[in-house]
Structure 1
Amino acid sequence: MPAYNTLLDNELLNLLKSGDQDSFKELYKRYGGLLYVYALKLTDDEDDAEDIVQEVFISLLTKEQLEIKKTVSSYLYSAVRYKIFDVLAHKKVKSGYVDSLQKFIDQGEYITDNYIREKELATLLEKEINLLPTKMRQIFESSRKGYLSQKQIAEKFNISEHTVKKQINNSIKILKLKLSKFIIFLLF
């Protein structure tokens, strides 16, 4: 059994490829702490730094076709750096998603709530308009839905402009009275 602390990195790597678990422990002992400090400086997060180092060493242990062209240390530092890039990119996406979700929650609920209230008010208003006396309803709808002037409505129904104005005002008073409770409910 060789003294692992005296072996070169490449020798440890060759032993690791042949299934020697003690060579892995020696590589971890040599580089684990240094890689952790490196990752911590770049991420500024202890948990992320620890996870990154562990993932790099796990990939070193589980890769069957591991080909290191330079030194083991440069490979490990590069692997940590690329893993940090992955973590930062993931955090950016996650942060963007969280921000977007929060914005939707903040605005979406408000917009949806207002939309529902608006629909309820429109339905109630239509119901109350239909309950107006027939002639009053026809005059009111000609004014508000048909966009006719008081003069045009007077000619259409063969009544005076003064009567048209009075009928529209009475319609509005009735609708205000009936809808006031609902409007107060909407505001609070």
Structure 2
Amino acid sequence: MKAYKNLADEALLELLKFSDRTAYEELYHRYWAILFRHARKMLSNDEEAKDLVQDLFVILWNKSGHLVIQSTFSAYLYGMVRYKVFDLIDKRKVQDRHLQSLESFIHQGEYTTDDTIRENELSKIIEREISMLPAKMREVFELSRKSHFSHQQISTEMDISHQTVKKQIYNALKILRPKLGGICLFLFFWIL
């Protein structure tokens, strides 16, 4: 591993093309923190920045056999971060538009029996997914979202740290979002 520390990025990339895990690890250690700070600066969110940089390195490993880099490796990585940040922002905008459209529809009061049935079915789906969360995480999540307890109240009620409460809620949302999507979660909080 020590020999790899002295290699230039270009040499490590050549080794990476042959799935050299040690070369990959050296590149990861060289650039992870720098890319994280860059992503965090653009996103203003530590967790999203971590996820984004992790995804970037997974892509790098998966495409290592046929990487074509026209510039320096660092410029390539910065470009990937910028592209992924813009992609994430675009996805947020689309999701926000859908939520605004849904809010507008709700405020206009255009309910039909079909809408009520769909809401009930959606509520059942959401409840089922929540019930599959680990017990402690589920309890924290339900106190937060259903009982509208603050993080401090949950911390006191369950005799756990404030940080644990935040982490449990974050993890619950991280599990539920891919399963339910943003619109389902919005409806869940609106219906209950």
Bin the TM-score by the shorter chain: 0.5 to 0.7
Shift of 1:2: 6.3
Q: TM-score, normalised by structure 1?
A: 0.56
Q: Deviations over 1:135-169 (max 9, x none)?
A: xxxxxxxxxxxxxxxxxxxxxxxxxxxxxxxxxxx
Say whether 1:81 aligns with 2:82: yes
Shift of 1:25: 0.6
Say whether 1:38 aligns with 2:26: no
Whole-angstrom CA distance in 1 between matches of 2:101 and 2:87 = 21
Whole-angstrom CA distance in 2 between matches of 1:54 and 1:67 = 20
**Residue aligning to 2:73:** 72
What is the number of residues matched between the two proteins?
111
The within-5 A match list for 1:1-188 is: 3-63=3-63, 64-107=65-108, 110-112=109-111
**Aligned residues: percent identity?**
41
Whole-angstrom CA distance in 1 between matches of 2:110 and 2:8 = 66
Whole-angstrom CA distance in 2 between matches of 1:2 and 1:47 = 31
Taking only aligned residues, the RMSD between alpha carbons, in angstroms, comes to: 1.5
Secondary structure of the residue aligned to 2:66 is coil
Whole-angstrom CA distance in 1 between matches of 2:51 and 2:58 = 10
Gaps of 5+ in 2: 113-192
Shift of 1:66: 0.6
Whole-angstrom CA distance in 1 between matches of 2:9 and 2:68 = 13
Runs of 4+ in structure 1 off by over 4 angstroms are none
Whole-angstrom CA distance in 1 between matches of 2:41 and 2:2 = 35
Q: TM-score, normalised by structure 2?
A: 0.55
Gaps of 5+ in 1: 114-188
Whole-angstrom CA distance in 2 between matches of 1:111 and 1:98 = 16
Whole-angstrom CA distance in 1 between matches of 2:51 and 2:16 = 22
Secondary structure of the residue aligned to 1:56 is helix
Structure with higher RCO (Cα < 8 A, 6+ apart): 2
Rg larger in 1 or in 2?
1
